[in-house]
Structure 1
Amino acid sequence: MKTIEQLGHRICIIGASSAGKSTLAKALAEHLNLEVCHLDQLAHIPYTNWRLRNKDDFKGDHQNFLQNNDRWVIEGNYSFLMKDRFLEATSVIWLDFAATGSLWRYINRSFQNNDKRNGNLIGATRHLSWLQMKRILFTAPKNRSKYKALIAECDMNLVYIDSFRKLKKYYRYWGLE
């Protein structure tokens, strides 16, 4: 297991929806005094029900964050921008859980409708989406090979976590509880 110090001060967290990326990003940011960026908040228009922004505007804000912050944790996927993040990152944490567990967590959090949830879009009122459930079950598993190739290409310091149980062990090991 890599120590929290071995992660460095520019950390990417990737994984399926509801894997715990936003919560982990907040915990690492607080513990290591890092800026945090939730990519869903950059990619979507606030006070809408997750309507996507213009791709070029999103990319510009993504690049600005990378250029203007030396110490950060960024959570989210958006594979068209992954290589840019990976080349700047000191570590990647990949939360690669079974789709059924992520789906269960997604449905559960959707019914909780918590506006203060880490990574939530400001002003969003709809949280349950059939399209998002389809992404969790079918798109996310297909993306694994793409993510593996990007990680290999960028020669990353990778922390691969394949279960919620292992994620909880890392929380304890890193002193994030």
Structure 2
Amino acid sequence: MNRVVILGSAGSGKSTLAKQLGGCHHIEVVHMDRLFWKPGWIMSTQAELAAKQKVHLDKPSWIIEGNYSGVWDERLALADTVIMLDLNRYLCLWRILKRWLLNKGKSREDMGPGCSERMSLEFIKYVWNYPTKKRNHVMSSALEQANHAQIVILPSKKAVKKFLRQNACT
């Protein structure tokens, strides 16, 4: 695993898994949210995001977590491993609500600087609807584009823990 892409719903644990893998394998972790969001929750354009991502893609190793399908083609083409976190919506909802409560008013390291933790009904709906509106697109499109890579689908917290153990990360 030298070039790893981690995909999944908000709250599925992409950032946490990326940090764990990056730490135990000494690979730089890139958070797509951090690249996308400018201070004050201002969005980057697709061109800006692609340019920011390209800086990392040119490196020999990386772990990039986050979906952003508008710029994932090159990332997936270069990946040797694609991990899909396919956890249930209840767990993802619980995690985003817990994250919001614990980080209200603070900026997390995996977000853009100056982007304090926030929550909205729109975001809650996005997470709730992810399994029916986004999951299949991610599974089919992204995983098809990376058919040259090792594909790992982790459907539970138990599967994530097992994967970390198998990859010498515990």
TM-score after normalising by structure 2:
0.89
Whether 2:144 is the aligned partner of 1:152: answer yes
Amino acid at match of 2:144: A
Match of 1:124 among 115, 127, 130: 115
Whether 2:15 is the aligned partner of 1:22: answer yes
Identity of aligned residues (%): 29
Residue in 1 aligned with 2:6? 13
Amino acid at match of 2:11: S
Amino acid at match of 1:112: L
Residue in 1 aligned with 2:43? 52
Q: 1:36 to 1:111 in 2, by over 3 A?
A: same
RMSD: 1.8
Unaligned ranges ≥5, structure 1: 1-7
**Do the aligned residues in 2 keep the contact of 1:99 with 1:141 (CA within 8 Å)?**
no
Q: 1:93 to 1:118 in 2, by over 3 A?
A: farther
Match of 2:72 among 75, 82, 105: 82
Residue in 2 aligned with 1:110? 100
Residues in 2 aligned to 1:116 and 1:31: alpha-carbon distance in whole angstroms: 25
Q: Secondary structure of the equivalent of 2:42?
A: coil
Amino acid at match of 1:12: V
Whether 2:81 is the aligned partner of 1:91: answer yes
Whether 2:57 is the aligned partner of 1:66: answer yes
**Do the aligned residues in 2 keep the contact of 1:9 with 1:72 (CA within 8 Å)?**
yes
Residue in 1 aligned with 2:34? 41
Residues in 2 aligned to 1:80 and 1:37: alpha-carbon distance in whole angstroms: 17
Whether 2:161 is the aligned partner of 1:168: answer yes
**1:14 shift after superposition:** 0.4
Q: 1:32 to 1:75 in 2, by over 3 A?
A: same
**1:129 shift after superposition:** 2.1
TM-score after normalising by structure 1:
0.85
Residues in 2 aligned to 1:65 and 1:174: alpha-carbon distance in whole angstroms: 23
